[in-house]
């Protein structure tokens, strides 16, 4: 995107001016302000530009899947969910098959994502610093998000449905993909994983105990990296979804709330794996204890918040472990296809469960 394009877009949104070649869907009014541009340089799929240190313009790569983020942002704004960067607008290419061109949201000062602040907190604890008691806050935030997603709005009038889907079939298919991709490495991890496939399959199969589940449009890719810590606390971001968890036939992605919770909990375990690697395994018992307490605290805070808001029916705990096992298989598939150096994290989690 050429220099000045993001500032011009923000100014047009603030003043109501025309934007050549684009059409706009507005969510929250945007006031005029400074227009200096700064590119966000961290590795990401799309290109993000900070404008005036107050607005972020995320320029989207063209994709074949439906653009789910605008509907979810409009819905969360209508539900008065404020623990996300303020959604200002979605901008589409003004052409017959024009897809999402950009999403414009508020900028959160001093924000760091969970792969930084969660890992740093745990490393500080291991180095004698204060306890990294962060899991409860993550669980409460996830519950508040799900309650908002389950609240009717003009954008999504009927946000909760009942599904009789065969969750085990999906999970077993992911396990089979992981088995084939991991086996190709032909190393000790591959042999270990292959030998334990029957046990993983048995845990995934347990989801067949659930023949009826409430589903919502989930976050879809809820890991600690999507949780920003900034001056105002915690905020969840990036509703683009996980391309490995796509809706069937281009429809609307709906999942049990347990899907997001499973991914968030396993990402906390990945924080532990990262800490082990950075400390060369010197604190394995302490990290294992932190992980055990963390996933329990996260779930307890999540369930407590759901109950306080009258939404306890959204969560079926019987789906949690099957979805967690499936998630680690998805992580192995991702590592094999895109980021081989990441394999140690899900493999380490699986070894902690099945050794």
Same domain assignment for residues 214 and 117: yes
pLDDT at residue number 245: 65
Same domain assignment for residues 118 and 16: no
- Report how far residue 118's alpha carbon sits from residue 116's, in angstroms, rounded to the nearest whole number: 6
72-76-78-84 Cα dihedral, nearest 10 degrees: -130
Mean pLDDT of 298-304: 98
Same domain assignment for residues 36 and 134: no
Q: Which long-range contacts (CB under 8 A, 24 or more apart) does 178-187 make?
A: 178/329, 178/330, 178/332, 178/333, 178/336, 181/332, 181/333, 181/336, 181/337, 182/332, 182/336, 182/343, 184/336, 185/336
pLDDT at residue number 46: 80
pLDDT, the chain, mean: 94
pLDDT over 70 (residue 65): no
- Nearest alpha-carbon partner for 64 in 92, 93, 99, 96: 99
Q: Which residue has the tokens 């204890």?
A: 289
State pTM to two decimals: 0.94
- Nearest alpha-carbon partner for 106 in 241, 20, 235: 235
Same domain assignment for residues 211 and 350: yes
Q: Which residue has the tokens 């050794």?
A: 355
Q: Which residues of 239-261 are buried (b: 16+ CB within 10 A; e: fewer)?
A: bbbbeebebeeeeebbbbbbbbb
- Using an 8 Å Cβ cutoff, are 35 and 11 in contact? yes
**What is the gyration radius of the CA atoms in the chain, in angstroms?**
21
pLDDT band at residue 66 under the 50/70/90 scheme: low
- Locate 281 and state its tokens: 């395994």
Q: Give residue-wise pLDDT tens across range 101-141.
A: 999 999 999 999 999 999 999 999 999 999 999 999 999 99
pLDDT over 80 (residue 275): yes
Same domain assignment for residues 29 and 79: yes
pLDDT band at residue 97 under the 50/70/90 scheme: confident
pLDDT at residue number 312: 98
- Locate 263 and state its tokens: 């991914």
Q: Give residue-wise pLDDT tens across range 202-236.
A: 999 999 999 999 999 999 999 999 999 999 999 99
Same domain assignment for residues 54 and 27: yes
Q: Which one of 106, 131, 163 terminates a domain?
A: 106
pLDDT at residue number 246: 61
- Report how far residue 188's alpha carbon sits from residue 195's, in angstroms, rounded to the nearest whole number: 11
- Report how far residue 156's alpha carbon sits from residue 73's, in angstroms, rounded to the nearest whole number: 11
Same domain assignment for residues 293 and 278: yes
Same domain assignment for residues 277 and 299: yes
Q: Phi/psi of residue 63, each to 5°?
A: -130, 160
Number of domains in the chain: 2
Same domain assignment for residues 166 and 23: no
Mean pLDDT of 332-342: 95
pLDDT at residue number 49: 96
- Locate 44 and state its tokens: 């990401």
pLDDT over 60 (residue 43): no
- SS3 for 268-333 is HHHHHHHHHHHCCCCCHHHHHHHHHHHHHHHHHHHHHHHHHCCCHHHCCHHHHHHHHHHHHHHHHH
pLDDT at residue number 44: 65
Q: Which residue has the tokens 């005036």?
A: 52
- Nearest alpha-carbon partner for 152 in 236, 212, 74: 74
pLDDT at residue number 267: 98
- Using an 8 Å Cβ cutoff, are 350 and 196 in contact? yes
CATH number at residue 146: 3.90.1200.10
- Report how far residue 330's alpha carbon sits from residue 336's, in angstroms, rounded to the nearest whole number: 10
pLDDT at residue number 62: 76
Q: Which residue has the tokens 């009826």?
A: 212
Q: At a CB cut-off of 8 Å and minimum separation 6, what does 81 contact?
A: 144, 145, 148
- Report how far residue 162's alpha carbon sits from residue 254's, in angstroms, rounded to the nearest whole number: 10
Same domain assignment for residues 98 and 136: no
pLDDT at residue number 67: 77
Alpha-carbon distances, residue 160 vs 87, 218, 348 (angstroms)? 23, 10, 35
Same domain assignment for residues 196 and 286: yes
pLDDT over 80 (residue 96): no
pLDDT at residue number 52: 97
Domain region containing 16: 5-106
Mean pLDDT of 279-292: 98
- Locate 112 and state its tokens: 């760091």
- Using an 8 Å Cβ cutoff, are 219 and 260 in contact? yes
Same domain assignment for residues 102 and 143: no
Report the range of poorest mean pLDDT among 36-45, 252-261, 278-287: 36-45
The percent of residues in the chain predicted with pLDDT above 70, rounded, is 95
pLDDT at residue number 248: 58
Report the range of poorest mean pLDDT among 43-47, 135-139, 159-163, 164-168: 43-47
Q: Which helix (H) or strand (E) holds 171?
A: helix 167-183
């Amino acid at each position: 995107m050429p220099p000045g394009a993001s500032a011009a877009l923000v100014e047009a949104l603030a003043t109501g001016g025309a934007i050549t070649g684009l059409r706009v869907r507005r969510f929250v009014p945007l006031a005029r302000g400074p227009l200096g541009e700064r590119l966000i340089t961290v590795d990401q799929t799309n290109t993000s530009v900070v404008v005036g240190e107050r607005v972020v313009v995320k320029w989207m790569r063209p994709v074949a899947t439906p653009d789910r983020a605008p509907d979810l942002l409009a819905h969360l704004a209508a539900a008065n969910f404020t623990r996300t960067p303020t959604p200002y607008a979605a901008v589409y290419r003004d052409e017959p098959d024009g897809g999402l061109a950009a999403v414009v949201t508020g900028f959160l000062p001093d924000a760091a994502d969970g792969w930084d602040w969660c890992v740093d907190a745990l490393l500080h604890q291991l180095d004698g610093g204060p306890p990294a008691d962060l899991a409860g806050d993550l669980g409460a935030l996830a519950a508040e998000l799900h309650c908002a997603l389950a609240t009717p709005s003009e954008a999504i009038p009927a946000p909760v449905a009942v599904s009789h889907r065969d969750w085990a079939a999906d999970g077993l298919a992911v396990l089979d993909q992981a088995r084939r991709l991991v086996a190709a490495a032909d190393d000790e991890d591959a042999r270990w994983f292959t030998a334990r496939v029957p046990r993983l399959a048995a845990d995934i199969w347990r989801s067949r105990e659930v023949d009826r589940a409430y589903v919502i449009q989930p976050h879809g890719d809820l890991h600690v990296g999507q949780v920003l810590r900034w001056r105002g606390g915690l905020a969840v971001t990036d509703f683009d979804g996980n391309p490995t968890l796509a809706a069937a036939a281009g429809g609307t992605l709906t999942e049990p709330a347990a899907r997001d919770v499973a991914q968030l909990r396993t990402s906390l375990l990945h924080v532990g794996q990262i800490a082990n690697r950075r400390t060369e395994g010197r604190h394995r018992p302490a990290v294992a204890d932190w992980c055990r307490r963390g996933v329990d605290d996260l779930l307890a805070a999540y369930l407590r918040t759901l109950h306080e808001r009258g939404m306890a029916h959204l969560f079926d705990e019987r789906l949690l472990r099957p979805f967690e096992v499936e998630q680690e298989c998805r992580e192995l598939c991702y590592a094999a296809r895109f980021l081989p150096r990441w394999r140690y994290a899900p493999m380490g989690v699986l070894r902690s469960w099945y050794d």
